[in-house]
Structure 1
Amino acid sequence: MEKMMMPAYYNVLSTEEMTYTEGGATMVQAACAWFIPFYGWFKGITAVRDYRKKNPNNWTETGLDALSKDMEKSTANLLYDIACAASVVGSCASVVWLIPNALIVFGS
Structure 2
Amino acid sequence: MDSKRPYTTLFLIQSLDGKITTGDNDSMDTENFHKITGIKEGMFQYYELEKRMDRVYVNSGKVFEKVGFNEKVWTKDKNDGLSFVVIDNRPHLNLGGCEYLAKRCETFF
Instruction: Output the TM-score relative to the length of structure 1.
Output: 0.25
- Identify the structure with the greater helix proportion: 1
- Identify the structure with the greater strand proportion: 2
Which structure would you say has the larger RCO, counting Cα contacts within 8 Å and 6 or more residues apart? 1
Larger radius of gyration: 1
Instruction: Output the TM-score relative to the length of structure 2.
Output: 0.24
